[in-house]
């Protein structure tokens, strides 16, 4: 009875409620399935959307398709949802997805539950604004003092796990040392921490590490991975990226000064546009502009056949780095179509491209502590103080100087164009030495194979520059044989050495082209076997007139050498038409003897020679170049100067220019880099223009470089293949007309650059003209055709204080050429001030150009442009409104949009990267992709908390955030063996209940070898140490010399980063290939790594050094073996050996260096707990 009653009572008891399933989480559970298996064909991009089905939005998924096709999802009813029908289809021909693995039964059931619950969509987590959530209280007091720890502990506790205890002090200090400075602690530092029992011991260690100069080097190494830092362009010859190391030093100094992250972003995107740029505390120059150098660190292709496509590829890399580094988004996936997974339009990709299209590459001029600018101002002041005295002096001698101009000009006109009197001796005739028209090398001795078996025929030159040769042939070390490329010919060397001849004229004239390599490629005049005169090419295949002054050598015997001793880019020379003459210019033959004319006008012979020579250097064009039309880039005021050379002085131009006094008339028709001083440097850039004719003709004189930059292409400075006449190096005392052959790029966009990069001269450029022919017909010189009497009167009027344009021009010319003088102490003072000018620093940087919106390319093909895309920041990050204008790029507005509070990832991205650096895994495990294909955050509330704090209370301070995280209990967790429970619940340790061991990254491993061996050189900054090359590293672009095997003991961050010739040890240990952003390095475990530690001579060298240090630490040669072993362990592993280890090491018959090598190969050395 009692038994029956008991049964009855049990039956009446309430049954336990069945476990309720939590609602399906769309973001964590459903979206990953859709992204992987559905959205490639049914996502955001309408051009690839199949069957009209869209599954990335609720409206798209529930859309009732016509013709009875139904909706993909019917909320609340999975049985009527086409999506479920298709993923359950048994016939593989109709089952979805059509390719790849089908969905598992668990995934299908999850989709069904989600649809039953209403198929609720939610905005992707990364596109939701960070939310402030109060950190939950932790039941363990040790985890309840820091918001970071509370969030981490809550996740561990919710999973039913317990956190590991705190790491021991040695392991903790070793962990923090490598994380914060990238180096192991010293035995002394470990001992001090282990014996420090006072409160705040850990805080003191963290603050010591954060104050270390090596902290910034460590942070910079992470940043350089994002910016794909390298110092060469890769491709075929691995040409150097100029001044790239300055960007690396900029990054190190930025982290050393704890530059706020938002300022760092502004400097990277638009550091050249900041109204108040940051000043570098070391060199006192503009620091902000250096941040823009990253834009130009991409790989580069020399001689692209399609230069527009090359530009598009370069910009694509820049957008890829920009979007991954600062937005953790793969915007480059929208280059050919709308993004397949994330809501990014193709037009938004090209909206970003417009910011880059509107900018230009430059080697910026940096003024240390403003010294160059102050020096230039001092030169202007010096001129202004003496201006009144000079005018007074000139006015006193106006009639005298006018008469000197009249007589000198008249004498020059007689020499050049006068008629000889009966019986008058004429000038000595020109004497042709060598014209290479005979088809062989008669008169020359040939060395090497550069010049080929015979002179090159002008009419067969495949590079189209032989039209400037004279006659049938010319000497050419760039001559190509059958099936040879110009790259192959640039690798040859050779010399042409002429027979001896008498130097019996005043000048040796010739034509020269080819590479600009002083003493490497060029033409020499040898007298008594010594170099008496030398000229080099101008990085152009055009043959340009040049001459040697022989006055001091007349009566001697000489030889000509045409030489090519350079391999690689512009490793060639060409020459023609060697003529001895008394005429200063072959284009201006002499009609009368200068001796006779000097006697007639009662002038010194040297005076007549100077007047004739100066007149020959005047422009030959009587007005505009003919035929042709003006280049369409506006007046001088539309051009953009950088540096100081092209800055026009206020008021009157500078009167004096060392070594000769000069009055300089101003005017927009001409560009002059010497208006203030020949010693100032600068670049002048034109507005963007469209190439509308085959040739651009540019009159120029002086010293400098002229460049046409077509579609942003600049690698012609290393190898001019296909761009042979886009760049001219000018070294001409008189006016010459240079021809840019642009026939391959008609319709392309370009801009023009005038470079004055010489402190011993300046460059003047006349009005450029378009032309259908390669060169203009010469016209009579303006001055030689002028009336000498009228010219003298004009000079007198001008010097007397009257306004006279012709007089001003004549005085400017005569003073500049030294034809007339105004004795005064100012020229000497001016020269002295010029000599004191410091050289500016140069840094790779960006410069603003004209505002240009890029076209949308059909399927990403630059040959199929469609409508222009306004410059704007992508709408998913809070942008969408146009940001650019015609006046500039708009990059500064882009930076502000990226940092705006409306951008939900602005702070999340850097916070996640810093967390990853310290914990080995980001809160978002895919640091470069927060989109649909990335992984969701493991601790979303913690990520939002840190992001809001980083932007707010911490004021974007990276160092403050690092300190906060390293002081957390979560960071100090011990590295222990995972329990079976942990492996079952959290096998990847996402919840951070324990610490997983991590292998040192490549640079830390190499630096640790140097540190424990005592070889580490703590010197910072400066040019990179050349990479050490092994005999196995061969191929084109191999550097001409190898660096030291140990890199001079410098930290790895200071080793040269060559894309084609990387440091082997670093590459073996997963140092990334710098082609794009790498926020997460690969972590391989391959035999080559063990073999490298075993066999690399560098590792053996450090083992020898470590053994020597241990011997000294143990007491020297008389020390006991056991003491030496203890010293080895303390130096290498920062601990004493265990009794077993000590016994094992003592038992083996190995040299101390071999024992040191064993420790350097141990896992304990290369891993941190």
**769-771/763-765 β-pairing:** unpaired
CA atoms of 387 and 390, how far apart (whole Å): 5
Give tens-digit pLDDT for 143-187. 999 999 999 999 999 999 999 999 999 999 999 999 999 999 999
Residues 6+ apart with CB under 8 A from 1092: 1064, 1065, 1068, 1069, 1099
CA atoms of 749 and 375, how far apart (whole Å): 37
CB atoms within 10 A of CB 925: 17
Give tens-digit pLDDT for 72-126. 899 998 998 889 888 898 888 888 898 888 999 998 999 989 999 898 988 999 9
Out of 205-209, 809-813, 929-933, which region has the weakest mean confidence (pLDDT)? Answer: 809-813
- Is residue 770 within 8 A of residue 628, CB to CB? The reply is yes
Residue 781 confidence (pLDDT): 40
- Is residue 177 within 8 A of residue 209, CB to CB? The reply is yes
Residue 1061 confidence (pLDDT): 96
Confidence of residue 634 (pLDDT cuts 50, 70, 90): low
Quick check: 619 pLDDT over 70? no
Confidence of residue 413 (pLDDT cuts 50, 70, 90): confident
Out of 65-79, 603-617, 765-779, 1091-1105, which region has the weakest mean confidence (pLDDT)? Answer: 765-779
Out of 62-66, 172-176, 695-699, which region has the weakest mean confidence (pLDDT)? Answer: 62-66
Residues 6+ apart with CB under 8 A from 485: 721
Residues in a beta bridge with 337:
none
Taking all residues of the chain, what is their mean pLDDT, rounded to a whole number? Answer: 88
Residues 6+ apart with CB under 8 A from 923: 911, 912, 915, 916, 937, 938, 939, 940, 942, 943
List of long-range contacts for 189-195, beta carbons under 8 Å, 24+ apart: 190/1134, 190/1135, 193/169, 194/169, 194/170
**Residue-wise DSSP of 647-698:** PPPSSSPPSEETTEE------TT-EETTSS-TT--EEEEPPPEE--SSEEEE
CA atoms of 39 and 343, how far apart (whole Å): 12
CA atoms of 1064 and 267, how far apart (whole Å): 33
- Is residue 245 within 8 A of residue 1023, CB to CB? The reply is yes
Quick check: 3 pLDDT over 60? no
* Residue 745 or 457, more confident: 745
Give tens-digit pLDDT for 805-853. 556 556 656 666 667 666 666 667 777 888 889 999 999 999 999 999 9
Residue 782 confidence (pLDDT): 41
Quick check: 376 pLDDT over 70? yes
* Helix, strand, or coil (residue 248): helix
Sign of CA dihedral 449, 455, 460, 462: positive
Tell me yes or no: is domain 431-582 CATH 2.60.120.260: yes
- Is residue 757 within 8 A of residue 705, CB to CB? The reply is yes
Give tens-digit pLDDT for 1076-1107. 999 999 999 999 999 999 999 999 999 999 99
Element (H, E) at 363: strand 359-366
Out of 289-293, 585-589, 701-705, 1112-1116, which region has the weakest mean confidence (pLDDT)? Answer: 585-589
CA atoms of 50 and 41, how far apart (whole Å): 6
- What token pair was written down for 99? 């390719």
Domain boundaries, the chain: 26-122, 257-365+840-906, 370-396+617-838, 431-582, 1098-1168
CA atoms of 737 and 531, how far apart (whole Å): 29
CB atoms within 10 A of CB 23: 12
Confidence of residue 937 (pLDDT cuts 50, 70, 90): very high
* Residue 168 or 646, more confident: 168
- Return the ∠ at Cα 412 (arms to 406 and 414), rounded to 5°: 100
**Residue-wise DSSP of 480-514:** --TT--HHHHTT--EEEEEPPEE--SSEEEEEEEE
CA atoms of 290 and 843, how far apart (whole Å): 6
Mean pLDDT of the region 744-770:
91
Confidence of residue 719 (pLDDT cuts 50, 70, 90): confident
Residue 621 confidence (pLDDT): 37
Give tens-digit pLDDT for 664-692. 333 334 788 887 788 999 999 999 999 99
**Residue-wise DSSP of 107-131:** HHHHHHHHHHTT------GGGSPP-
Residues 6+ apart with CB under 8 A from 406: 788, 789, 791, 792, 795
């Amino acid at each position: 009875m009692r038994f029956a009653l008991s049964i009855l009572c049990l039956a009446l008891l309430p049954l336990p409620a069945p476990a309720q399933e939590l609602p399906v989480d769309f973001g964590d559970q459903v979206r990953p399935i859709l992204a992987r298996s559905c959205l490639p064909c049914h996502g955001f991009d309408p051009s690839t959307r199949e069957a009209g089905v869209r599954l990335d939005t609720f409206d798209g998924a529930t859309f009732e398709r016509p013709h009875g096709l139904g909706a993909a999802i019917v909320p609340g009813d999975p049985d009527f949802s086409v999506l479920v029908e298709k993923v359950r289809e048994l016939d593989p021909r109709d089952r979805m997805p059509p390719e790849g693995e089908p969905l598992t039964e668990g995934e299908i059931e999850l989709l069904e539950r989600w649809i039953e619950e209403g198929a609720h969509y939610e905005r992707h987590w990364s596109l939701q604004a960070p939310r402030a959530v109060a950190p939950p209280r932790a039941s363990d007091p040790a985890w309840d003092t820091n918001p970071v720890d509370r969030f981490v502990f809550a996740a561990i506790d919710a999973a039913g796990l317990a956190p590991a205890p705190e790491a021991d002090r040695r392991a903790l200090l070793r962990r923090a040392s490598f994380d914060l400075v990238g180096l192991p602690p010293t035995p002394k530092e470990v001992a001090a921490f282990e014996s420090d029992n006072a409160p705040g011991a850990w805080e003191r260690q963290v603050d010591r590490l954060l104050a270390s100069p090596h902290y910034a080097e460590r942070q910079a190494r992470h940043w350089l991975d994002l910016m794909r830092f390298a110092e060469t362009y890769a491709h075929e010859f691995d040409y150097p990226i100029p001044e790239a190391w300055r960007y690396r030093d900029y990054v190190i100094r930025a982290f050393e000064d704890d530059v706020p992250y938002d300022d760092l972003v502004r400097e990277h995107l638009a550091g050249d546009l900041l109204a108040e740029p940051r000043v570098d505390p070391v060199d006192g120059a503009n620091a902000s502009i250096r941040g823009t150098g990253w834009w130009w660190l991409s790989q580069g292709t020399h001689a692209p056949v399609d230069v527009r496509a090359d530009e598009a590829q370069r910009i694509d890399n820049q957008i890829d780095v920009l979007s991954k580094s600062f937005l953790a988004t793969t915007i480059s996936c929208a280059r050919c179509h709308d993004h397949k997974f994330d809501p990014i339009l193709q037009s938004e990709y090209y909206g970003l491209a417009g910011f880059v299209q509107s900018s230009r590459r430059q080697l910026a001029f940096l003024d240390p502590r403003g010294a160059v600018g102050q020096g230039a101002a001092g030169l202007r002041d010096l001129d202004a103080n003496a201006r009144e005295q000079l005018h007074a002096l000139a006015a006193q001698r106006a009639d005298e100087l006018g008469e000197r101009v009249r007589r000198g000009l008249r004498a020059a006109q007689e020499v050049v164009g006068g008629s000889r009197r009966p019986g008058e001796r004429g000038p000595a005739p020109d004497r042709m030495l060598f014209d290479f028209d005979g088809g062989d090398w008669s008169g020359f001795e040939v060395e090497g194979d550069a010049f080929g078996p015979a002179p090159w025929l002008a009419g067969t030159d495949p590079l189209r520059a032989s039209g400037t040769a004279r006659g049938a042939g010319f000497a050419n070390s760039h001559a190509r044989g059958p099936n040879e490329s110009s790259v192959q010919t640039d690798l040859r060397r050779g010399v042409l050495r002429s027979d001896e001849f008498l130097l019996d004229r005043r000048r040796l004239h010739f034509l020269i082209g080819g590479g600009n390599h002083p003493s490497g490629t060029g033409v020499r005049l040898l007298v008594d076997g010594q170099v008496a005169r030398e000229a080099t090419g101008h990085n152009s295949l055009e043959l340009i007139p040049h001459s040697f002054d022989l006055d001091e050598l007349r009566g001697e015997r000489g030889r000509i050498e045409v030489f090519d001793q350079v391999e690689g880019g512009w490793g060639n020379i060409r020459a023609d038409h060697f003529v001895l003459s008394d005429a200063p210019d072959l284009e201006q033959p002499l009609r009368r003897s200068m001796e006779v004319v000097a006697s007639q006008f009662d002038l010194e012979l040297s005076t007549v020679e100077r007047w004739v020579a100066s007149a020959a250097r005047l422009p030959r064009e009587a007005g505009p170049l003919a035929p042709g039309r003006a280049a369409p880039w506006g007046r001088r005021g539309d051009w953009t100067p950088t540096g100081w050379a092209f800055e026009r002085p206020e008021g009157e131009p500078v009167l004096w220019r060392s070594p000769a006094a000069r009055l300089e008339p101003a005017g927009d028709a001409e560009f002059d880099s010497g208006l203030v001083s020949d010693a100032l440097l600068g670049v002048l850039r034109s507005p963007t223009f469209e190439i509308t004719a085959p040739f651009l003709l540019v009159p120029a004189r002086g010293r400098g470089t002229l460049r046409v930059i077509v579609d942003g292409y600049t690698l012609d400075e290393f190898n001019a293949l296909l761009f042979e006449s886009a760049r001219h190096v000018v070294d001409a005392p008189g006016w010459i007309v240079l021809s840019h052959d642009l026939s391959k790029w008609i319709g392309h966009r370009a801009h023009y650059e005038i470079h004055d990069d010489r402190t011993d001269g300046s460059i003047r450029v006349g009005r450029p003209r378009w032309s259908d022919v390669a060169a203009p017909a010469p016209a009579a010189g303006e001055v030689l055709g002028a009336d000498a009497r009228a010219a003298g009167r004009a000079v007198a009027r001008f010097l007397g204080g009257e306004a006279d344009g012709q007089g001003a021009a004549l005085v400017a010319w005569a003073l500049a050429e030294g034809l007339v003088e105004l004795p005064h102490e100012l020229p000497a003072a001016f020269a002295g001030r010029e000599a004191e000018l410091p050289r500016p620093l140069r840094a790779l940087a960006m410069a603003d150009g004209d505002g240009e919106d890029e076209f949308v390319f059909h399927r990403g093909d630059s040959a199929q442009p469609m409508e222009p895309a306004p410059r704007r920041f992508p709408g998913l990050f809070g942008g969408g409104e146009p940001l650019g204008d015609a006046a500039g790029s708009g990059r500064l507005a882009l930076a502000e949009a990226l940092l705006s509070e409306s951008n939900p990832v602005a702070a999340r991205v850097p916070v996640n990267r810093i967390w990853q650096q310290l914990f080995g895994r980001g809160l978002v495990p895919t640091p470069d992709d927060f989109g649909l294909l990335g992984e969701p955050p493991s601790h979303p509330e913690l990520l939002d908390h840190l992001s809001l704090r980083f932007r707010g209370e911490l004021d974007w301070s990276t160092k403050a955030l690092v300190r906060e995280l390293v002081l957390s209990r979560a960071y100090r967790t011990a590295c222990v063996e995972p329990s079976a429970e942990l492996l079952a619940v959290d096998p990847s340790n996402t919840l951070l209940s324990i610490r997983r061991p991590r292998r040192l990254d490549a640079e830390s491993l190499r630096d640790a070898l140097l540190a424990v061996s005592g070889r580490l050189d703590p010197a910072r900054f400066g040019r990179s140490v050349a990479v050490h090359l092994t005999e196995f590293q061969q191929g084109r672009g191999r550097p001409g010399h190898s660096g030291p095997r140990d890199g001079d003991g410098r930290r790895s961050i200071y080793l040269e980063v060559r894309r084609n010739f990387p440091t082997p040890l670093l590459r073996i240990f997963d140092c990334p290939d710098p082609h794009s952003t790498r926020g997460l390095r690969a972590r391989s475990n391959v035999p080559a790594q063990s073999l490298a530690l075993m066999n690399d001579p560098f590792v053996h060298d450090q083992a020898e050094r470590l053994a020597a240090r241990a011997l000294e630490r143990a007491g020297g040669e008389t020390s006991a073996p056991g003491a030496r072993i203890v010293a080895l362990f303390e130096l290498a592993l920062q601990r004493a050996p265990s009794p077993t280890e000590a016994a094992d090491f003592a038992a083996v018959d190995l040299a101390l260096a071999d024992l040191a090598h064993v420790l350097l190969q141990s896992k304990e050395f290369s891993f941190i707990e």
